[in-house]
Amino acid sequence: MTVTVERKATNVHWHEGDVTREDRASILGHKGVTLWFTGLSGSGKSTIAVAVEKALAARGVLSYRLDGDNIRLGINSNLGFSAEDRKENIRRVGEISKLFADSGVVVLSSFISPYREDREMVRRMHEEGDLPYLEVFVDCALEEAESRDPKGLYKKARAGEIRGFTGIDDPYEAPLSPELHLRTDRMSLEEEVETVISSLQARGIIA
Protein backbone atom coordinates (compact mmCIF):
# COMPACT_ATOMS: atom_id res chain seq x y z
CA MET A 1 0.00 0.00 0.00
CA THR A 2 1.38 3.40 -0.91
CA VAL A 3 1.12 6.28 1.51
CA THR A 4 -0.71 9.26 0.15
CA VAL A 5 -1.64 12.01 2.51
CA GLU A 6 -4.17 14.37 1.12
CA ARG A 7 -3.09 17.99 1.17
CA LYS A 8 -6.18 20.10 1.72
CA ALA A 9 -4.58 23.47 1.16
CA THR A 10 -4.07 24.57 -2.41
CA ASN A 11 -1.93 27.43 -3.71
CA VAL A 12 0.78 26.95 -1.11
CA HIS A 13 4.46 27.37 -1.97
CA TRP A 14 7.71 26.68 -0.17
CA HIS A 15 9.41 29.91 0.92
CA GLU A 16 13.23 29.93 0.87
CA GLY A 17 15.26 31.96 3.35
CA ASP A 18 18.75 33.43 2.96
CA VAL A 19 20.39 31.35 5.70
CA THR A 20 21.18 27.88 4.38
CA ARG A 21 21.38 24.50 6.07
CA GLU A 22 25.17 24.72 5.62
CA ASP A 23 25.17 28.10 7.40
CA ARG A 24 23.31 26.54 10.32
CA ALA A 25 25.75 23.61 10.41
CA SER A 26 28.66 26.01 10.55
CA ILE A 27 27.05 27.95 13.41
CA LEU A 28 26.51 24.69 15.37
CA GLY A 29 29.70 22.85 14.33
CA HIS A 30 27.82 19.71 13.24
CA LYS A 31 25.15 18.58 10.82
CA GLY A 32 21.52 17.76 11.49
CA VAL A 33 20.29 14.18 11.29
CA THR A 34 17.37 12.04 12.39
CA LEU A 35 18.12 8.90 14.38
CA TRP A 36 14.94 6.84 14.35
CA PHE A 37 14.83 4.35 17.25
CA THR A 38 12.27 1.61 16.62
CA GLY A 39 11.53 -1.41 18.80
CA LEU A 40 9.16 -3.05 21.22
CA SER A 41 7.93 -1.34 24.34
CA GLY A 42 10.63 -1.89 26.97
CA SER A 43 13.31 -2.66 24.37
CA GLY A 44 15.35 0.37 25.49
CA LYS A 45 14.54 3.14 22.98
CA SER A 46 14.06 5.90 25.56
CA THR A 47 16.94 4.73 27.78
CA ILE A 48 19.35 4.80 24.83
CA ALA A 49 18.07 8.15 23.52
CA VAL A 50 18.54 9.72 26.96
CA ALA A 51 22.10 8.34 27.22
CA VAL A 52 23.00 9.40 23.66
CA GLU A 53 21.62 12.90 24.30
CA LYS A 54 23.87 13.17 27.37
CA ALA A 55 26.94 11.91 25.48
CA LEU A 56 26.28 14.36 22.64
CA ALA A 57 25.81 17.28 25.04
CA ALA A 58 29.18 16.45 26.60
CA ARG A 59 30.69 16.81 23.08
CA GLY A 60 28.97 20.14 22.50
CA VAL A 61 26.47 18.64 20.04
CA LEU A 62 22.89 19.94 20.10
CA SER A 63 20.35 17.13 20.12
CA TYR A 64 16.68 16.83 20.95
CA ARG A 65 14.57 13.85 21.93
CA LEU A 66 11.13 13.13 20.55
CA ASP A 67 9.54 10.30 22.50
CA GLY A 68 6.28 8.40 21.94
CA ASP A 69 4.88 8.95 25.40
CA ASN A 70 5.78 12.67 25.48
CA ILE A 71 4.48 13.43 22.00
CA ARG A 72 1.25 11.56 22.71
CA LEU A 73 0.70 13.80 25.76
CA GLY A 74 0.89 16.87 23.51
CA ILE A 75 0.66 17.35 19.76
CA ASN A 76 -0.60 13.81 19.15
CA SER A 77 -2.98 13.59 22.11
CA ASN A 78 -5.86 12.98 19.69
CA LEU A 79 -4.33 9.70 18.44
CA GLY A 80 -4.72 6.17 19.78
CA PHE A 81 -3.10 2.86 18.81
CA SER A 82 -5.10 1.63 15.80
CA ALA A 83 -2.94 1.01 12.71
CA GLU A 84 -4.39 4.19 11.21
CA ASP A 85 -3.61 6.33 14.27
CA ARG A 86 -0.12 4.86 14.58
CA LYS A 87 0.49 5.82 10.95
CA GLU A 88 -0.65 9.40 11.54
CA ASN A 89 1.45 9.52 14.72
CA ILE A 90 4.52 8.46 12.75
CA ARG A 91 3.75 10.77 9.82
CA ARG A 92 3.51 13.82 12.09
CA VAL A 93 6.58 12.89 14.07
CA GLY A 94 8.45 12.17 10.84
CA GLU A 95 7.67 15.68 9.64
CA ILE A 96 8.67 17.18 13.00
CA SER A 97 11.92 15.19 12.96
CA LYS A 98 12.62 16.45 9.46
CA LEU A 99 12.15 20.09 10.53
CA PHE A 100 14.46 19.65 13.54
CA ALA A 101 17.08 17.88 11.41
CA ASP A 102 16.89 20.69 8.86
CA SER A 103 17.44 23.16 11.70
CA GLY A 104 20.77 21.41 12.38
CA VAL A 105 19.82 19.38 15.44
CA VAL A 106 20.65 15.71 16.02
CA VAL A 107 17.11 14.37 16.43
CA LEU A 108 16.58 11.30 18.63
CA SER A 109 13.12 9.98 17.75
CA SER A 110 11.94 7.01 19.84
CA PHE A 111 8.73 5.41 18.64
CA ILE A 112 7.66 1.80 18.52
CA SER A 113 6.72 2.51 14.87
CA PRO A 114 5.72 -1.12 14.34
CA TYR A 115 4.93 -0.94 10.63
CA ARG A 116 7.68 -1.06 7.98
CA GLU A 117 5.59 0.96 5.60
CA ASP A 118 5.29 3.83 8.10
CA ARG A 119 9.02 3.81 8.79
CA GLU A 120 9.74 3.81 5.06
CA MET A 121 7.47 6.85 4.75
CA VAL A 122 9.69 8.70 7.26
CA ARG A 123 12.85 7.58 5.46
CA ARG A 124 11.45 8.87 2.15
CA MET A 125 10.53 12.23 3.71
CA HIS A 126 14.15 12.66 4.75
CA GLU A 127 15.55 11.46 1.42
CA GLU A 128 13.32 13.92 -0.42
CA GLY A 129 14.66 16.68 1.81
CA ASP A 130 18.25 15.44 1.30
CA LEU A 131 18.59 14.97 5.06
CA PRO A 132 20.58 12.21 6.73
CA TYR A 133 18.44 9.51 8.31
CA LEU A 134 19.52 6.48 10.33
CA GLU A 135 17.12 3.77 11.37
CA VAL A 136 18.22 2.22 14.67
CA PHE A 137 16.66 -1.15 15.44
CA VAL A 138 16.45 -1.43 19.23
CA ASP A 139 16.21 -5.17 19.26
CA CYS A 140 15.24 -7.17 22.29
CA ALA A 141 13.49 -10.51 22.63
CA LEU A 142 9.85 -10.10 23.61
CA GLU A 143 10.43 -12.31 26.69
CA GLU A 144 13.18 -9.95 27.89
CA ALA A 145 11.15 -6.77 27.19
CA GLU A 146 8.22 -8.33 29.01
CA SER A 147 10.34 -9.29 31.99
CA ARG A 148 11.66 -5.70 32.19
CA ASP A 149 8.12 -4.28 31.90
CA PRO A 150 9.27 -0.82 33.11
CA LYS A 151 5.74 0.63 33.10
CA GLY A 152 3.78 -2.51 33.95
CA LEU A 153 2.07 -2.38 30.53
CA TYR A 154 2.82 -5.99 29.49
CA LYS A 155 1.20 -7.18 32.70
CA LYS A 156 -1.89 -5.13 31.89
CA ALA A 157 -1.90 -6.38 28.28
CA ARG A 158 -1.66 -10.01 29.43
CA ALA A 159 -4.53 -9.35 31.82
CA GLY A 160 -6.61 -7.99 28.94
CA GLU A 161 -6.65 -4.48 30.43
CA ILE A 162 -4.88 -3.04 27.36
CA ARG A 163 -6.02 -4.18 23.93
CA GLY A 164 -3.84 -4.02 20.80
CA PHE A 165 -0.56 -3.95 22.70
CA THR A 166 2.48 -4.28 20.43
CA GLY A 167 4.07 -7.72 20.68
CA ILE A 168 1.10 -9.23 22.54
CA ASP A 169 -1.95 -8.79 20.34
CA ASP A 170 -0.65 -6.24 17.85
CA PRO A 171 2.16 -6.68 15.29
CA TYR A 172 5.76 -5.50 15.29
CA GLU A 173 7.47 -5.71 11.90
CA ALA A 174 11.21 -5.86 12.51
CA PRO A 175 13.43 -3.71 10.27
CA LEU A 176 15.03 -5.59 7.36
CA SER A 177 18.07 -3.37 6.82
CA PRO A 178 18.48 -0.83 9.60
CA GLU A 179 21.60 1.35 9.58
CA LEU A 180 22.23 0.31 13.20
CA HIS A 181 21.15 -2.82 15.03
CA LEU A 182 21.43 -2.73 18.83
CA ARG A 183 20.78 -6.00 20.66
CA THR A 184 19.85 -4.59 24.02
CA ASP A 185 19.50 -8.05 25.55
CA ARG A 186 23.17 -8.69 24.71
CA MET A 187 24.88 -5.27 24.72
CA SER A 188 25.53 -2.85 27.55
CA LEU A 189 24.10 0.65 27.44
CA GLU A 190 27.66 2.00 27.15
CA GLU A 191 28.31 -0.15 24.04
CA GLU A 192 25.04 1.00 22.51
CA VAL A 193 25.88 4.68 23.05
CA GLU A 194 29.39 4.15 21.66
CA THR A 195 27.93 2.45 18.55
CA VAL A 196 25.61 5.40 17.90
CA ILE A 197 28.25 8.07 18.50
CA SER A 198 30.87 6.37 16.33
CA SER A 199 28.41 5.92 13.50
CA LEU A 200 27.63 9.66 13.56
CA GLN A 201 31.36 10.35 13.47
CA ALA A 202 31.97 7.87 10.66
CA ARG A 203 29.27 9.58 8.57
CA GLY A 204 30.82 13.02 9.13
CA ILE A 205 27.73 14.29 10.96
CA ILE A 206 29.60 15.14 14.17
CA ALA A 207 33.33 15.59 14.79
Ligand X SMILES: Nc1ncnc2c1ncn2[C@@H]1O[C@H](COP(=O)(O)OS(=O)(=O)O)[C@@H](OP(=O)(O)O)[C@H]1O
173-192 mask for ligand ADP (x: CB under 6 A)?
-----------x--xxx--x
The footprint of ligand X (CB under 6 A) covers 41-42, 46, 68-69, 72, 81, 86, 89-90, 111-114, 151, 153, 162, 164-166, 170
Q: Is 142 in the site for ligand ADP (CB under 6 A)?
A: no
Q: Is 80 in the site for ligand ADP (CB under 6 A)?
A: no
> Crossing angle, helix 189-202 and helix 45-58, to 10 degrees?
60
| Residue among 31, 32, 42, 66 that touches ligand ADP (CB under 6 A) | 42
31 is in an annotated binding site: no
Element (H, E) at 107: strand 106-110
- Give the ranges where 129-163 is alpha helix by DSSP (H): 142-148, 153-158
82 included as an active-site residue: no
Please, which residues bridge with residue 180 across strands? Answer: 136
Q: Is 72 in the site for ligand ADP (CB under 6 A)?
A: no
| Residue among 44, 94, 132, 167 that touches ligand ADP (CB under 6 A) | 44
Cβ-based nearer residue to ligand ADP, 48 or 134: 48
Among 127, 124, 135, 117, smallest CA distance to 181 is for 135
Whole-angstrom Cα Rg for the chain: 17
153 is in an annotated binding site: no
Cβ-based nearer residue to ligand ADP, 118 or 192: 192
Burial of 180 (0-12, 13-18, 19+ CB in 10 A): middle
Among 138, 1, 7, smallest CA distance to 83 is for 1
In the annotated binding site, the residues are 39-46
